[in-house]
Amino acid sequence: MKQKIVSGMRPTGKLHLGHYLGVIDNWVQLQNDYDCYYFVADWHALTTKYDKTSELKQDILNVVMDWLACGIDPNKSTIYVQSLIPEIAELHLYLSMVTPQNWVERDPTLKDMAKILKTKEGTNTQISYGLMGYPVLMTADILMFNADLVPVGIDQVAHVELTRDIARRFNNVYNTDFFKEPQPKLNNCSLICGLDGNKMGKSYHNDIKISDTAEDTSKKIMSAITDRTRLRKDDLGHPDECEVAFKYWKIFGNDAETGTVRSECEQGLRGCAQCKRELGAKINERLVNIREKRNYYENHIDEVKDILKTGSQKAKEDAHVILDKVRSIVQMY
């Protein structure tokens, strides 16, 4: 029997290259060897945007279309919407009863979210009950399917450790070994910065979206930061000091291409504009098939909805089995 993996993503709208390289590409590889459950975390979106839900349904569809376009296969993976599995909410309630308050308060992501809320101009800085419970809800997402592994980056290992702690505490309180203590599975992925050298993000306006046209991508790449010490085309370049463009070459180019770019840059034979034009073409080449599939799903949105309906129904049935056992362990009526 294959080991089980659970992972999710908030519905933030159309996804960008950071999502593709940092998460989705890894998911695509995992689904060949594991029993994968991938979910759109719409309840998690409400923890910070409970008052901004007008585009939530469309954002969910956009996320799933990007997943499908990138290669997440509904015949290999269970794709579902978190809020269509009410069993998760009930499990969250049981887990919250055995989770000490200070365990929640020490969660690093919760701290980061609180800081962001307090620094946003004009934002109500009160932390909601829902946001405080975010780490336990995340644990319920994972334990709902008794996952063996959770794919994460190194900065997210603390999440999985908290989940392990809560699973262990539940087992101890109720004298059982029902819940597994899931292990983190570190992503083997490429990280990519935004066009300005900072973290890539929709809110920073420095991203390249998976669904962008080739023309939009080429145009955006021309704004990427390069070697700030170069003033003229024939100045000797410093690829390792190039803040964005050369980093992208190391991701999208092969060894020979990257070596040529480095050599020509260092000799002053390659200007930054030429470099970025060729880079844009290289990125578009990587994304051409993905964008074709994305366009297909945009024109067959009912197919996307059917995939979500089928995946959510399967997830609900699997979750119901787990929840029945949990209710029995807790000795609910």
Q: Give 144's contacts (C-beta < 8 A, 6+ positions apart).
A: 6, 85, 87, 88, 91, 319, 322, 323
**What is the spatial distance between Cα 68 and Cα 132, in angstroms, rounded to a whole number?**
32
Terminal alpha carbon distance of the chain:
33
Are the CB atoms for 187 and 19 separated by under 8 Å?
A: no
pLDDT score of 106:
87
pLDDT score of 156:
87
> Hunting for tokens 């910065």 — which residue is that?
193
Which strands make up the sheet holding 35-40, listed edge to edge? 77-81, 35-40, 4-9, 149-152, 183-186
CA torsion 247→251→253→259, rounded to 10°? 50
236-289 confidence digits (pLDDT tens): 999 999 999 999 999 999 999 999 999 999 999 999 999 999 999 999 999 999
Overall residue count recorded for the chain in this entry:
333
Are the CB atoms for 81 and 308 separated by under 8 Å?
A: yes
Residue 81 phi/psi, 5-degree rounding, is -100, 130
pLDDT score of 110:
81
Q: What is the CA radius of gyration of the chain?
A: 22
Percent of the chain with pLDDT over 70: 97
pLDDT score of 124:
55
**What is the spatial distance between Cα 266 and Cα 236, in angstroms, rounded to a whole number?**
5
191-214 confidence digits (pLDDT tens): 899 999 999 998 889 999 999 999
Lookup: tokens for 185: 């599975």
| Alpha carbon 16 to chain centroid, angstroms | 10
pTM above threshold 0.75? yes
pLDDT score of 203:
85
280-327 confidence digits (pLDDT tens): 999 999 999 999 999 999 999 999 999 999 999 999 999 999 999 999
pLDDT score of 72:
98
122-161 confidence digits (pLDDT tens): 555 678 899 999 999 999 999 999 999 999 988 889 999 9
Buried b (16+ CB within 10 A) or exposed e, 195-212: bebeebeeeeebbbbbbb
pLDDT above 80 for 80: yes
Who wins on pLDDT, 230 or 62? 62
pLDDT above 80 for 113: no
pLDDT above 60 for 87: yes
Are the CB atoms for 135 and 159 separated by under 8 Å?
A: yes
SS3 readout for the chain: CCCEEEEEECCCCCCEHHHHHHHHHHHHHHCCCCEEEEEECHHHHHHHHCCCCCCHHHHHHHHHHHHHHHCCCCCCEEEEEHHHCHHHHHHHHHHHHHCCHHHHHCCHHHHHHHHHHHHCCCCCCCCCHHHHCHHHHHHHHHHCCCCCEEEECHHHHHHHHHHHHHHHHHHHHCCCCCCCCCEEEECCCCCCECCCCCECCHHHCCCCECCCCHHHHHHHHCCCCCCCCCCCCCCCCCHHHCCCHHHHHHHHCCHHHHHHHHHHHHCCCCCHHHHHHHHHHHHHHHHHHHHHHHHHHHCCHHHHHHHHHHHHHHHHHHHHHHHHHHHHHHCCC
pLDDT (average), residues 224-240? 91
**What is the spatial distance between Cα 67 and Cα 31, in angstroms, rounded to a whole number?**
12
Q: What is the average pLDDT value for the chain, to the nearest integer?
A: 94
pLDDT score of 48:
85
Are the CB atoms for 92 and 137 separated by under 8 Å?
A: yes
Give 116's pLDDT tier (boundaries 50, 70, 90).
low
